[in-house]
Chain A
Amino acid sequence: MQIRIGVLIVMCFLLAGCGDENIIEELAILQSVSFDVSENDQYPIKTTVLFPTVSKEGMFDTKTLTVNGKSTKDSFFKLQNLTNLKLVGGQGTILFGEELAKKGLIHFVDNFTRDPEVGTRSKFVLVQGKGDKLLTTQMPDVPDNAEYLYTFLEKVGAENKILNTSKFRFFRDYYDDGIDPVLPVFSYDDRIIQLRGAGIFKDDQYVKCLSLRETQILNYLSGDIKNGGLILSIKDRESGENSQLMLSGINSNNDVKVNIKNSQDMRVELSLDLKGSVLEYTGTMDLSDPENQKRLEKQVENYLNIHAKKLFHKMQIHQADPIGIGRMIRNHLSYDKWKEMKWREVYPDLNIKTEAKVDLVIIGKTK
């Protein structure tokens, strides 16, 4: 009897959720939320939410609501008054308009860490232009903007380690010394949503959108990659014209060497060991010839070295360190020296060199 009562009580305890009822038909489960700068000075944050709805006939649709508020919580309070459904957060996508991101996000997104409803894996995205426009614009090729964006981000995250971002990763890199966060940047027009590249940050301020070519190099510089891809254009030796080369199945290893003589003389050498297969080559070289293969490998190495140098230069100008060079330097210094050093001032003049080594493992089915 005692055991039965005990089991009953344990069940009651585990079923305590029934005390906090959430009937799915009565919920507005937020798929996407966008934040932008509003035109109203008194209510500077424009919040747009998108959630799915199901009619009594079982028809699926999405609904968007927009308000201007003083803070994110103020906006959510106002949004609750615009619908008969209960607004609840989830593992959705959170979009930030370009203008807002340039002002700095941390005070603003700090609210999200406080709210347990917003999952740690919620995706953060930057939008060129206005975030709410991306959510609300009806596009003939996109049936559900939020769902489309979410699956797009999943795909991009799987292909590019650097673009696999979430709320947790954003905060982790923001709070760490010597690394800055990165977020994917999307743009939109009347027809389609597209990825523009990686948005790099200086602390919590968005400073620059890297092109897709730069983003793929950043991806290889930021860590070891398994089964990656790379598209590059190289100058053909015979015709002198640019030819396209596409590598796939790339496994790369990344090693950073830090040489510190004193706080003025620091060198960072990033060696990149890349092994991949040729999937497409539009040049004139016969790749079955080992000599040509070596030549092509050299060309790819040169491409990577030159473009990595340009990329570092760009990031140094904007004082953004998405690779985490600062962390490498920090881990080679004593605590006092690191604290004394003004990393943001040192970083733009830092001597960073990339040394790529490329091996083309397979050259494809044809010569």
Chain B
Amino acid sequence: MKERLHSIQISILIYMIQNQIVLFSLPRLTAESYGTNGWLGLIFIYVLVNINIMLIAIIYKMGKGKSIFEIIETMIPKWVMLPVYLFIIGTWIGMASMVMKMYILIIKMFFFPGVPVTLFIVLITYLCFLLLKGGIYHISKASVLFFILTIWMIFLFIYLIPEFDFTRFTTFYLKGNTDFMIGSVHVYSAFLGFEISILFFHMVEKKWTKSIFIGNLMNMSIYCIITFLGYGFFSFNQLLNDIYPVITMLEYIEIPFLARVENLIFSFLAFRVILTIVIYYWGAQQICRNINSRLKPNYWMLIILTVGIFISLIPETLFDVEKWLDRISYFAIGIAWLLPLFVLCILYFQNLMNRGNSDAN
């Protein structure tokens, strides 16, 4: 019998694959987007993400566990869908390579200014290759291990409590130069990664969809704790001025036997970032396999990883990478909403047709 993903594994996997690279700037992003006490905006985005997940859950229920390719291709021929598939593959590979490049550039800026970017790209890509080779089951097992390796870090933030002051929150709610629309898209991109679960349907145990909600809730809790702390730790304008406030927070933590812990933590966070990258590559690989199942999966993987490396080499500065990541995030958010909606429409028409057929009989 084929191994299936357990619901706890899925929760941890979802938590681990959500786009952590945005977390480093999340307190600032919420402040820029929603103004004073902008951390409240996270709740709004969390609700939106849950609606998005609900769409995936409905598809699973209505489709009775059939994979989305089966659902789509019963009504629409594969060659018609090809441009859509290629667009999704392109977006997901782009997402993976930009997250990778951004992490590398940050680590280079803060810790290893002399190490060439290509060395990091090759190393991370090779790690991704090893994980991808094992398939989703190995990825999910690795995610549990990486989860244990990284979850303790949240307790380090306790050391910031002496600097925390409610006075800095101000009594103003969502005031200042806000940018609700664009800002929300940026904040939403911090939750991205869950949309890949639309490809899990035939690999999971029954009643798994609540695990996505739990994984997302875990991530939201971490985001909320860190962002909330950020508003009491920084003054509001200082928060707006700091590109990576979470790194500054980590930098400030001083334990009697350890200072500047951000060096250590940032290396550990590589595990989370790698999982985000891997899951996007894996998603792209699944669609490629659906397009042409005759080509061996490992060949697809090599093609995807090579394309990923080339894309990540294009933008050179951190500013460019952020710009690319922003654009690709827009597409990824579009896919996260439109793909489930599209599949739902097909399911609806299929149901209508089935009902029509049974009525005719």
Query: Interface on A for B, CB 8 Å cutoff?
Result: 2, 5-6, 9-10, 12-14, 16-17, 19-21, 91, 113, 116, 119-121, 168, 171-177, 179, 324, 327-328, 330-332, 334-335, 338
Q: Please count the residue pairs between chain A and chain B whose beta carbons lie under 8 angstroms apart in the complex.
A: 87
Residue-wise interface mask of B (291-314) relative to A, using a CB-CB cutoff of 8 A (1 in contact, 0 not): 000000000000000000000000
Once A9-B127, A177-B237 are accepted as A-B contacts, the answer to whether A16 and B252 lie under 8 Å apart by CB is no
Q: Is B235 an interface residue (CB 8 A)?
A: yes
Cβ B119 vs Cβ A17 within 8 A: no
CB of A330 within 8 A of CB of B170, answer yes
Q: Are A120 and B115 in contact (CB under 8 A)?
A: no
Report the bound CA distance from A113 to B270 in whole Å. Answer: 24
Q: Are A176 and B168 in contact (CB under 8 A)?
A: yes
Nearest CB on A from B281, distance (A): 16
What A residues does B130 contact at CB under 8 A?
2, 5-6, 9
Q: Residue of A at shortest CB range from B233?
A: A172
Closest to B134 in A: A2
Shortest C-beta distance, B173 to chain A (Å), equals: 8
Query: A120–B115 Cα gap in the complex (Å)?
Result: 24
From known contacts A19-B112, A19-B119, A172-B234, infer whether A120 and B127 are also in contact, taking CB-CB under 8 Å. no
Interface size on B, residues (CB 8 A): 37
| B147 nearest CB across to chain A (Å) | 16
Interface residues of B (CB under 8 A from A): 36, 109-116, 119-120, 123-124, 126-127, 130, 167-168, 170-172, 175, 234-238, 241-242, 248, 251-252, 254, 259-260, 267, 270
Q: In the complex the two chains form, is A20's CB within 8 Å of B251's CB?
A: no
Interface-central residue, B36, B109, B130, by most chain A CB under 10 Å? B130
Given A6-B130, A20-B113, A331-B167, A120:B270 Cβ within 8 A = no
What are 15 A-B residue pairs whose CB atoms fall within 8 Å in the complex? A13-B127, A16-B119, A16-B120, A16-B123, A19-B112, A19-B115, A20-B111, A20-B112, A20-B115, A113-B241, A121-B252, A171-B238, A324-B167, A327-B167, A331-B167
Tell me which of B109, B114, B241 contacts A19 (CB under 8 A). Answer: B114
CB < 8 Å neighbour of B270 from A13, A121, A332: A13
Contact A172 B235 (CB under 8 A): yes
Closest to A333 in B: B171
Residues in B with CB closer than 8 Å to A332 are: 171
Known: A116-B110, A120-B252, A175-B237. 6 other contacts (CB 8 A): A17-B111, A17-B112, A19-B119, A113-B241, A121-B259, A174-B238
B235: chain A residues at CB < 8 Å are: 172-173, 175-177, 179
Contacting pair B171 A331 (CB below 8 A):
yes
How far apart are B115's CB and chain A's nearest CB, in angstroms? 4
A91 contact set on B, CB distance < 8 A: 259-260
> A-side binding surface: helix, strand, loop or mixed?
helix
| B112–A16 CB distance below 8 A | yes
A176 x B270 contact (CB < 8 A): no
Q: Would you call B119 and A168 a contact (CB within 8 A)?
A: no
Q: Which residue of B lies closest to A338 (CB)?
A: B172
A176 B123 Cβ-Cβ under 8 A: no
Min CB–CB distance A84 → chain B (angstroms) = 19
- Rounded to whole angstroms, the CA-CA distance of A13 and B271 in the bound complex is 11
What residues on A are CB-neighbors of B242 within 8 Å? Answer: 113
B115 lies within 8 A of A335 (CB): no
* Interchain CA distance A168-B242 in the complex, whole Å: 11
Q: In the complex, what distance in Å separates the CA atom of A5 from the CA atom of B260?
A: 31
On chain B, the residues within 8 Å of A168 by CB distance are 248, 252
Q: Which residues of B contact A173 (CB under 8 A)?
A: 235
Which 3 A-B pairs have CB atoms at the shortest separation, nearest pair first?
A176-B235, A175-B238, A175-B237
- Complex alpha-carbon distance, A177 and B119, angstroms: 45
What is the minimal beta-carbon distance from B94 to any residue of chain A, in angstroms?
Answer: 23
Q: How far is the CB of B293 from chain A (nearest CB, A)?
A: 25
A203–B242 CA distance with the chains assembled, in angstroms: 19
- For A175, what are the chain B residues with a Cβ–Cβ distance below 8 Å? 235-238, 241
Q: How far is the CB of A21 from chain B (nearest CB, A)?
A: 8
The residue in chain A whose Cβ has the minimal distance to the Cβ of B35 is A335
Q: How far is the CB of B232 from chain A (nearest CB, A)?
A: 11
Interchain nearest-CB distance for A3 vs B (Å): 9
With contacts A16-B119, A91-B259, A120-B252 taken as known, whether A331 is within 8 angstroms of B170 at the C-beta atoms is: yes
The 8 Å CB contact of A13, one of B113, B114, B123, B172, is B123
Closest residue of A by beta carbon distance from B167: A327
B114 touches A176 (CB 8 A): no
A6–B234 Cα gap in the complex (Å)?
40
How far is B339's CA from A202's CA once the two chains are assembled, in angstroms? Answer: 56
